[in-house]
Amino acid sequence: MGIPLASEARLASLQGRIPTIATLCSHSSLQIFHGARVEGFPTLGLCVGPPPKFYDAFPLARPDQFLSVPTVKDLPGATQRLRDAGAIIVPHGSFVEYLGPEAFSAMDVPVFGNRAVLGWESDRRKERDWLESAGVRMPKLYEDPNEITGPVIVKYYGAKGGKGFFLAKNREALADFRPTGPYVIQEYVLGTRYYMHFFYSPIADGGYRLRHGALELLGMDRRDEANIDELYKLGAQEELIRAGIRPTFVVTGNVPVILRESLLPRAFEIAAKIIDRSVELFGGMVGPFCLEGIMTEDFEFKVFEISSRIVAGTNLFISGSPYSDLVAPGLSTGRRIAREVAQARAQNRLAEVLS
Ligand code: ATP
């Protein structure tokens, strides 16, 4: 047996019944419901106000039932109804962001994955401690602007979609920078971005083995970001900034990518180190996660962020990806989550994949 994340009391609502897979109707919920349905689970859509009409357009992904609340903040008040329904909540980015990591963590309903990861991921300093202590390369942080030796990106804390991020080619270009809030100055890594979708199972006993369990790569995407991705068409950034046009990094879509095959071993090594360290620090980051980073021309992958749950880029691969096709046919990340619940249940190990 591995590390139990959930107490018996937390799992009492699942005793002797087939669990219902529940999530907030947003982000990657269509994929989560679709995957759960394919694996034979009932599904429950949590929605604010009436059920979203666009679900009617996707009958294979429409949840069996909806649970409506007046606002997102009312979701914790629905805890008893969720337990009565035998729900397992699958977190996604919008769910955690709208509710807030603390309120999400406090919900007394079984959650897929280890909710302890939220405290590590939502605090940029703790996230850096975790990844760097795992031996992962991250973009350098400059405490003293005089030490800057190349291009930098200035990130304000909590800048959603990188609004107000500031790019500077060198130290001199930062001379006129007047901060408007708390920020960090980070090395701007030159290279190509990759968002790698992994899945860590603490109960798997085959595949790419780790100290505990196994790691799978289920897909990879690159995000379309407005307005930075098309800004070059208007000319040099300095001129644009003088004209009052600032770069933003608001994700508007995703495109599929693959990595040179010779770089895959590196990708797995990095992901494995992060998982092994997460097991030491907080019992393990269970289930889907995404490594967001930049591959340099020297084939060094520098991770600027980790998302510790299903990411919206996986929506590209509802019927499989060039990677997941080599694990099992038609395996989306949503389906992989449902399959993990089914396997853990069959082995009486739900406490290791739920919290
Ligand atoms: P938060 O996750 O706190 O809401 P965010 O997602 O808006 O922040 P990041 O994910 O840190 O911000 O970065 C947004 C985008 O900026 C990235 O997708 C990438 O395009 C670019 N970027 C971030 N850090 C770097 C870096 N060190 N070097 C080059 N580009 C970067």
CA-to-CA distance for 55 and 288, rounded, in angstroms?
A: 24
Residue 100 CA to ligand 1 center (angstroms) comes to: 20
247 CB less than 6 Å from ligand 1? no
Q: Are 164 and 205 in a shared domain?
A: no
- For residue 272, what is the domain's CATH number? 3.30.470.20
CA-to-CA distance for 24 and 27, rounded, in angstroms?
A: 8
Q: Are 49 and 197 in a shared domain?
A: yes
CA-to-CA distance for 247 and 9, rounded, in angstroms?
A: 49
207 CB less than 6 Å from ligand 1? no
* Token representation of residue 172: 């001199």
Asked if the structure places residue 238 within a domain, the reply is no
Q: Are 178 and 205 in a shared domain?
A: no
Q: Are 112 and 166 in a shared domain?
A: no
Q: Are 324 and 346 in a shared domain?
A: yes
186 CB less than 6 Å from ligand 1? yes
Residue 1 CA to ligand 1 center (angstroms) comes to: 38
CA-to-CA distance for 265 and 56, rounded, in angstroms?
A: 42
Q: H helices within the chain, ranges in order?
A: 8-11, 29-38, 79-84, 93-99, 101-106, 117-121, 124-133, 237-242, 264-282, 333-346
CA-to-CA distance for 312 and 125, rounded, in angstroms?
A: 24
Give the DSSP letter of residue 110: -
Residue 255 CA to ligand 1 center (angstroms) comes to: 17
Q: Are 158 and 285 in a shared domain?
A: no
193 CB less than 6 Å from ligand 1? yes
Atom 12 of ligand 1, nearest CA residue = 162
Asked if the structure places residue 248 within a domain, the reply is no
Q: What angle do CA 21, 25, 29 make, to 5 degrees?
A: 60
Say what the pLDDT of residue 167 is. 87
Q: 3-state DSSP call for residue 113?
A: coil
Tell me the pLDDT tens digit for each residue of 271-295: 999 999 999 999 999 999 999 999 9
Range of the domain at 171: 145-188
223 Cα nearest atom in ligand 1:
18
Say what the pLDDT of residue 248 is. 86
Residue 153 CA to ligand 1 center (angstroms) comes to: 9
Q: Is 281 exposed, middle or buried (0-12, 13-18, 19+ CB in 10 A)?
A: middle
Q: Are 275 and 289 in a shared domain?
A: yes
163 CB less than 6 Å from ligand 1? no
Residue 250 CA to ligand 1 center (angstroms) comes to: 10
Check: CB of residue 248 under 8 Å from CB of residue 162.
Answer: yes
CA-to-CA distance for 78 and 179, rounded, in angstroms?
A: 42
Asked if the structure places residue 3 within a domain, the reply is no
Asked if the structure places residue 97 within a domain, the reply is yes
122 CB less than 6 Å from ligand 1? no
The number of C-alpha atoms within 13 Å of 221 and in the hemisphere containing its C-beta is 22
Residue 97 CA to ligand 1 center (angstroms) comes to: 17
Asked if the structure places residue 308 within a domain, the reply is yes
189 CB less than 6 Å from ligand 1? yes
Q: Are 181 and 217 in a shared domain?
A: no
Q: Are 179 and 307 in a shared domain?
A: no
How many domains is the chain partitioned into structurally? 2
Q: Are 94 and 213 in a shared domain?
A: yes
**pLDDT averaged over 10-residue windows placed end to end, the chain, 355 residues:** 94 97 96 98 97 95 98 95 98 92 95 96 92 98 93 84 80 86 93 98 96 97 93 83 84 96 98 98 98 98 97 97 98 98 98 98
273 phi and psi angles, rounded to 5 deg = -65, -40
Check: CB of residue 302 under 8 Å from CB of residue 296.
Answer: yes
Q: Are 175 and 112 in a shared domain?
A: no
Residue 88 CA to ligand 1 center (angstroms) comes to: 31
Q: Are 160 and 272 in a shared domain?
A: no
Asked if the structure places residue 131 within a domain, the reply is yes
Asked if the structure places residue 112 within a domain, the reply is yes
Say what the pLDDT of residue 161 is. 66
Say what the pLDDT of residue 51 is. 95
pTM over 0.75, yes/no? yes
250 Cα nearest atom in ligand 1:
7
Asked if the structure places residue 209 within a domain, the reply is yes
